[in-house]
Amino acid sequence: MTATSSVSKGCFVFKSASKKRRKLHKDVDGLLLCGSDDNGRDRFRIYQKLLEKVQLHTEAIQDQLNKKVLDNLVQFIKKYELCYSSDVWRQGASEIPTAALMLGVNVPDHTMTFRSLCSLLQDSVTPFVVSVPAKECTAVKILIQKVVGQLMGRGLSLDEDQEDDTAPHQKTQCSISDLCQWYKTVKKSNMKNEGLHWSLPIVVIFKDFEAFNLQALQDFILICSQYVQELPLIFIFGIATSSSTIQQRLSHSVSSLLCIEVFHSLSCTQHLAAVFDKLILNSQFPFKLSSKVIQVLVGIFLYHDFSVQSFVKGLQLSMSEHFNNQPLSVLCCQKKEAMLCAKMLSQQNVDRIRHLPSFMRYVEAQEPQEQVLLLTSDEHVKEVCQILLKNLHKYHKNYYPILQCLHSLTSLLPKCPLGKQIRELHVSCNEKKVWETEEYDLAMQLLRILAKDELVAALRECAGILKSARSKKIQNVLRQVEDFIVRMEELECPSTEDLPEDDVIFSGNDYKRRTDLFQLQKTLQEKESGRSKKITPFEMLRNEVVQFLDDLVREYLTPAELQPLHEVYYYSSSGVLRQRLNAAPRTSIQAALSHPFYYLQNQALKTRAGTVSSAAPDLCIIYKLHLECGRLINLYDWFEAFVTVSSAAEDKDENSDECGKLDSLKNARFIQAVSEMEFLGFVKSTKQKTDHVARLTWGGC
């Protein structure tokens, strides 16, 4: 432990006087259901079902994305397994095969990758797989014990006599030589039983290579290199930064003992895009996020940890908040189930539907007679609710395929005016009418100058997207797109001779004469100022395609906020989510120290603004007094002020012995409170003045 300059050390807890928060329903996943809601259990059931779906899809996406790199690692280990089975090769072996697995800086996601890797290796290659974390291996002795201990617990089955022989080694677990003896025993037994040349490798996985104690890691590699002809060792380094880290951290004498091969996993942005396609841009997943919530989650991903697992946890938290705080989330389910729930809505939920802003806008747009029915008849509201829910499901079925088509056409344009990632385009379409933005106009202008091969390739990609859609309207769009592709392929690209005279900029000997920028600009200006050029058949067809795309965008990519009852499916409390995920500990601590009443629920601590209660904890008094000081705080003046405030409610004789004992006690309390302030980071010792401390924060709650 490192020494500190604090006056005293300690940890103190103030327990809340109120225990009302503990008397909530104890549901498995922490969803707090209000007892007054008649659909609370139905909401919790739907929430659990969606939560399981998120978990299954997340794991499937992780396995699918990691499949290639994990398969390559398996082949790498199998290659050296064959080499280790050759006695000739092992006699001349001097290096340990090492795989450098480049996983990226999204460290929270690495755990799932290593879990999948261990399972795959144990199922298909060898049962001798050890995974060691850096935080548990601070010294080489501990590292060896971890490796040897795990391996001896995962050996193949032995006879009873042999198990007794290995028992002492399982108890000691202290050296690589014990591991060698144990491995020879296991090998001899299996060769005798199976009659084969048996030589399974021992795989040691270092999860977080950069975090390992350098000396412990180097010593471990040096020790293992002495047994490379007896133990078929293979190392896997989990690296978050770059492959050069191995050479930078390990000395040349140690790194020369490793035969390193680098493996790259997919980037975290590709992983996030797959999660978006499966969980957010999917009409089969009923729960939706508003554009502001998506921006909060993506912002945390891009500017904090690049962790897809953290993004998924944010999605799960959004689901929990939505199903907990929105009683109408009972309708946030698949179409058939939503129709049944709409028929059985209670009167209370019908009134809630009437108060939804989107439903109120819908009512205002109806005829007067229809408005009266919607405001007075509960049964009519239920019938209309079913129709609106059907329309909302149709909206999502049509929205996502058209969104993907627009993205495939615009993502390859120069500077990507509508965004390089589909999530950026999705946010733009949900925030406002995208066709009214300058970026959209620029994208349409760039689409009108696309070459034939680029446009045909983009249309074919759109056709592939639309084929997987189930909507009848989208199938009609698919037929029109396929017709455009056929018509374009039938067109022949015009040659220079077929162009009008005004369209020819360079020809023959004029090419060399007009190579400078000024002449080129002059020629283009003359061309533009001349007669209107004749539009070619390809240009006419290209304009028709762009106009067709523009019509699709205006029809299907309307913002979700314009859809009635969108509040049922969309979670939009971005402020709450930001507060939950972007923790601000300093703000919370300052609020607790400034207003202890709201945390301790003690009426004696309730005071007016700007005053200090003598009944408050010492730390709160010290904190409020330090707010009145400047950059440097005189400890004696601070102590005098503390004594004055804490003694306000006391009436003691200054000359009495009891008063002297109280002064000593207050002195100790003051030192303790100052030490706590130093621990929390509000003050620190300073060399400028020995009897002063420096203030580190400014402002308060």
pLDDT grade, residue 232 (50/70/90)?
confident
Instruction: Give the pairing of strands 129-132 and 202-206.
Output: parallel
What's the confidence (pLDDT) of residue 56? 93
Q: Are residues 201 and 78 in the same domain?
A: yes
What's the confidence (pLDDT) of residue 645? 86
SS3 581: helix
Q: Report the C-alpha gap between 560 and 548 in whole angstroms.
A: 22
| Domain assignment of residue 79, yes or no | yes
Q: Are residues 261 and 405 in the same domain?
A: no
| Domain assignment of residue 616, yes or no | yes
Q: Report the C-alpha gap between 575 and 403 in whole angstroms.
A: 27
| Domain assignment of residue 607, yes or no | yes
What's the confidence (pLDDT) of residue 197? 54
Q: Report the C-alpha gap between 280 and 273 in whole angstroms.
A: 10
Q: pLDDT per residue over 255-264, tens digit each?
A: 999 989 999 9
Of 272, 289, 145, which is closest to residue 216 (Cα–Cα)?
145
Of 443, 451, 407, which is closest to residue 426 (Cα–Cα)?
407
What's the confidence (pLDDT) of residue 187? 78
- With contact defined as beta carbons under 8 Å apart, do 622 and 675 qualify? no
Q: pLDDT per residue over 387-431, tens digit each?
A: 999 999 999 999 999 999 999 999 888 888 999 999 999 999 999
What's the confidence (pLDDT) of residue 521? 64
What's the confidence (pLDDT) of residue 374? 92
**Rg for the chain, CA atoms, rounded:** 35
SS3 685: strand
CATH number of the CATH domain containing 94: 3.40.50.300
SS3 234: strand
CB atoms within 10 A of CB 479: 11
Amino acid at residue number 629: C
What's the confidence (pLDDT) of residue 196? 52
For range 151-163, the mean pLDDT: 48
- With contact defined as beta carbons under 8 Å apart, do 286 and 332 qualify? yes
- With contact defined as beta carbons under 8 Å apart, do 190 and 198 qualify? yes
Q: Are residues 460 and 342 in the same domain?
A: yes
Q: Are residues 255 and 403 in the same domain?
A: no
CB atoms within 10 A of CB 535: 10
Q: Are residues 86 and 178 in the same domain?
A: yes
Total-model pTM: 0.76
SS3 654: coil
Of 291, 557, 292, which is closest to residue 433 (Cα–Cα)?
557
Q: pLDDT per residue over 274-318, tens digit each?
A: 999 999 999 999 999 999 999 999 999 998 888 999 999 999 999
Domain end call among 266, 299, 314: 266
What's the confidence (pLDDT) of residue 27? 44
Q: Are residues 261 and 288 in the same domain?
A: no
Cβ burial 319-343 (10 Å sphere, 16+ → b, else e): bbbbbbebbbbbbbbeeebbbebbe
Q: pLDDT per residue over 525-539, tens digit each?
A: 666 555 456 788 888
SS3 203: strand
Domain end call among 266, 291, 315: 266
For range 663-685, the mean pLDDT: 89
Q: Are residues 333 and 208 in the same domain?
A: no
Q: Are residues 184 and 287 in the same domain?
A: no
For range 203-208, the mean pLDDT: 92
| Domain assignment of residue 233, yes or no | yes
Q: Are residues 569 and 640 in the same domain?
A: no
Q: Report the C-alpha gap between 618 and 624 in whole angstroms.
A: 10
Q: Report the C-alpha gap between 658 and 141 in whole angstroms.
A: 57
Q: What is the DSSP string of 69-124?
A: HHHHHHHHHHHHHHHHT-HHHHHT--SEEEEEEE--S-GGGHHHHHHHHHHHHHHH
| Domain assignment of residue 38, yes or no | no
Q: Are residues 455 and 576 in the same domain?
A: yes
Owning domain of residue 600: 585-695
Query: For residue 11, what is the DSSP state?
Result: -
For range 509-516, the mean pLDDT: 44
| Domain assignment of residue 502, yes or no | yes
Residues with Cβ within 8 Å of 357's Cβ and at least 6 positions away in sequence, in order, are 567
Q: Are residues 492 and 634 in the same domain?
A: no
Q: Are residues 319 and 386 in the same domain?
A: yes
pLDDT grade, residue 688 (50/70/90)?
confident
Q: pLDDT per residue over 489-510, tens digit each?
A: 888 654 444 444 444 444 444 4
| Domain assignment of residue 473, yes or no | yes
| Domain assignment of residue 338, yes or no | yes
Query: For residue 183, what is the DSSP state?
Result: H
What's the confidence (pLDDT) of residue 36? 44
What's the confidence (pLDDT) of residue 646? 82
- With contact defined as beta carbons under 8 Å apart, do 433 and 486 qualify? no
Domain end call among 217, 246, 266: 266
CB atoms within 10 A of CB 158: 18
Structural domain count of the chain: 3
For range 180-184, the mean pLDDT: 86
What's the confidence (pLDDT) of residue 4? 42
Residues with Cβ within 8 Å of 384's Cβ and at least 6 positions away in sequence, in order, are 374
Q: pLDDT per residue over 100-142, tens digit each?
A: 999 988 888 888 889 889 999 988 888 889 999 888 888 888 8
